[in-house]
Structure 1
Amino acid sequence: MTPAEPGWRRRTVSRGGVDLAVFEGGNETAATLVLVHGWPDTHRVWGGVAALLASEHHLVSYDTRGQGESVTDAADSAFTVEELASDFFAVIDAVSPDRPVHVLGHDWGSVQVWEAVCRPGAEDRVASFTSMSGPHLDHLRWWVHRRLRRPTPRGTAALLAQAVSSAYVPFLVSPLAPWVLRVLGTRDMVSGLRYYRANLRRPGGRLRESRTRVPVLQLVLTHDIAVRRAPLTESDGWAEHLERVELPYGHGIVSTHPEVVADEAARFVRSVEFLRRVQRRP
């Protein structure tokens, strides 16, 4: 089952001059779980995961700006994580105005949701966040800063390892990338380069202290060639409640092992919902 099949409803949520294509399905009486995809994917990447979660969750998936059916010619400046986080809040305000949502993000989907859950008061709108293969960019900058300021052999090795894994980034932010990907890739792949240019070309400036009170489940993919485990651990100091689970899979786990993703996300949603019910008791 995918969000394009009968039984799923498409709606449009507009914000910042962009019409976001939003898809809803599953159990409308259950807690809402929002699925946020990465680059160069669209909402369709969640098809296998959604099929496994639909009976117990009200599911929402949307094409993030510039991807899939959320087409826009906006400039790079419209693709900062701040703009993407505001898109996320616009979507959840539309689909679940009276009840906090749970969120599952992958790749750039996880990056932008990290930005969202670290906004003041986010815990009133987001009940939990399951993160895969995408750190908060501020946490990543802190991780690099600490290891450069007080270098150790272990820290330097971790920096070098992540640098090797991120060696593709200079190409993606270069003027050459759109030309090459137009030939070798897809429209979404080219369009999504604005995510990289808007956020990874930005000057350093003052490090932000980005904290969250939203419960976080961080799924660490030990075979992920793009995001290493070491920088993900920086989030420990910025999240009030963070659980980490290591899984022996690669970056494409959403497509290759949807049952693993669905099981972990559902388990975390159940645990958070149980605690919320306990806390509401007189």
Structure 2
Amino acid sequence: MTSTSLITASDGVRLAVHRYTDIDPQRPTVLAVHGWPDNHHIWDGVAAELGGRYNFVAYDVRGAGESSCPATRSGYRLGQLVADLGAVIDSLEVGQVHLLAHDWGSVQGWAAVTDESVAGKIASFTSLSGPHLQGAGRFLRSARGPRSLVDVAKQIAGSSYIAFFLTPAAPELAFRSGIGVKVVEAVERIGGSGTRAQRVSPPRAIGDFVNGLNLYRENLPAPLFSPGPQLPRTDVSVQVLAPRRDYFISPPLQRLQGAISLRSRVVSIEGGHWVVTARPDAVARLTAEWIEAVIRGEVETSVEYGESRQAGGRLTLINRLLARLALLLK
């Protein structure tokens, strides 16, 4: 059973912080951040798996769940979201946290681990289905041949919904009418038909859908069109869990994100965009494996693995794709 507290962000927004466990200072703390159109409940299954070993905390991003909304749309800008994350970490009084994030939560996570004011509070980062926005922009310019051109084209197709979200009024009408909600519930099942997958849809309110549109409107599309000359960098150890059947954030894009950290790994796993709820056991297992590797100091270099070839922290190296991509994009 969770306990909930409210903290006040720098602009007065009230953030609902949910502790799935008591905070034991002797145990590592996992802080989970959800994406759109979810709230903290997307982590219920993962929390059930990890709560016996770690302090587990999740919070409702501004405008979602039990958190309040900012007074203006500009309150959804990425800089403010990173400040929120830092404020939540400070409120836990545990020093550093192991960050676990999905979708727009991962977008915030990438921004946080590449922000000097917050990165020192993060011991490790596990990202699912959410890129660094500048990294996404770089990926869209990465085509150097037929194969990579196809990868970029697939990602553009998977991101085509963003144009609709950026239009005024129409998305709100779609979600308030219930049609948009049904569409999300349908696409949520993509990639979740495996024998190990669960059919669990977390509870959502209309506000989670509608308020979250401001994440897109305040932060896109500028970084996609003008991403800067090179990928950002972080010293935080990063794990990218890349669902093989994620239609919205393609595996090639997710693999590129690993190049942002020199100490990272990319694990290709079975599932779709909402693998968090479809396979919480797998997400929890890989997250715990990464946390323990970081605690033991066994994270050394950037590598890529397949989920089927796990063997603790000593998995066989498949290839050096991340390093080659990083060099290609310089």
**Pair in the same fold by TM > 0.5:** yes
**C-alpha separation between the residues in 1 aligned to 2:282 and 2:227?**
38
Instruction: State yes or no: 1:172 paired with 2:172.
Output: no
Partner of 1:115: 111
Partner of 1:155: 148
- Which of 69, 79, 83 in structure 2 is aligned with 1:82? 79
- Which of 219, 224, 242 in structure 1 is aligned with 2:264? 242
Instruction: State yes or no: 1:12 paired with 2:14.
Output: no
Instruction: State yes or no: 1:124 paired with 2:120.
Output: yes
- Which of 191, 195, 211 in structure 2 is aligned with 1:191? 211
Query: Offset of 1:238 from its aligned partner?
Result: 2.1
Q: Deviations over 1:97-131 (max 9, x none)?
A: x5211011011111101100001264421000000
Partner of 2:251: 229
- Which is worse superposed, 117-126 or 222-231? 117-126
Query: Offset of 1:73 from its aligned partner?
Result: 4.5
Aligned positions of 1:27-38 closer than 5 A: 28-29=23-24, 30-38=27-35
The amino acid that maps onto 1:274 is R
Cα gap change, 1:160/1:206 in structure 2, threshold over 3 Å: closer, same or farther? closer
2:240–2:255: 8 Å Cα contact kept in structure 1?
no
The amino acid that maps onto 1:249 is G
**C-alpha separation between the residues in 2 aligned to 1:137 and 1:56?**
32
2:61 is paired with a residue whose SS is: coil
**C-alpha separation between the residues in 2 aligned to 1:56 and 1:232?**
28
Q: Deviations over 1:39-70 (max 9, x none)?
A: 11101111111111111111111000110111
- Which is worse superposed, 99-108 or 70-79? 70-79
Cα RMSD between the aligned structures? 1.7
Query: Offset of 1:25 from its aligned partner?
Result: 3.1
1:36–1:104: 8 Å Cα contact kept in structure 2?
yes
2:140 is paired with a residue whose SS is: helix
The amino acid that maps onto 1:38 is G
Aligned positions of 1:45-124 closer than 5 A: 45-96=42-93, 98-120=94-116, 122-124=118-120
- Aligned-residue identity in percent: 34
Partner of 1:280: none
Tell me how many residue pairs correspond in the alignment: 266
2:20 is paired with a residue whose SS is: strand
The amino acid that maps onto 2:48 is A
Instruction: Compute the TM-score of the two structures, normalised by the length of structure 2.
Output: 0.76
Instruction: Compute the TM-score of the two structures, normalised by the length of structure 1.
Output: 0.89
**C-alpha separation between the residues in 1 aligned to 2:161 and 2:79?**
24
Gap regions ≥5 residues in structure 1: 277-282
- Which of 7, 18, 26 in structure 2 is aligned with 1:23? 18
1:67 is paired with a residue whose SS is: coil
1:146 is paired with a residue whose SS is: coil
Cα gap change, 1:266/1:12 in structure 2, threshold over 3 Å: closer, same or farther? same
**C-alpha separation between the residues in 2 aligned to 1:65 and 1:259?**
27
**C-alpha separation between the residues in 2 aligned to 1:123 and 1:111?**
14
Query: Offset of 1:81 from its aligned partner?
Result: 1.7
**C-alpha separation between the residues in 1 aligned to 2:140 and 2:70?**
33
**C-alpha separation between the residues in 2 aligned to 1:23 and 1:141?**
33
Query: Offset of 1:37 from its aligned partner?
Result: 0.6
**C-alpha separation between the residues in 2 aligned to 1:188 and 1:110?**
17
1:23–1:60: 8 Å Cα contact kept in structure 2?
yes
The amino acid that maps onto 2:151 is A
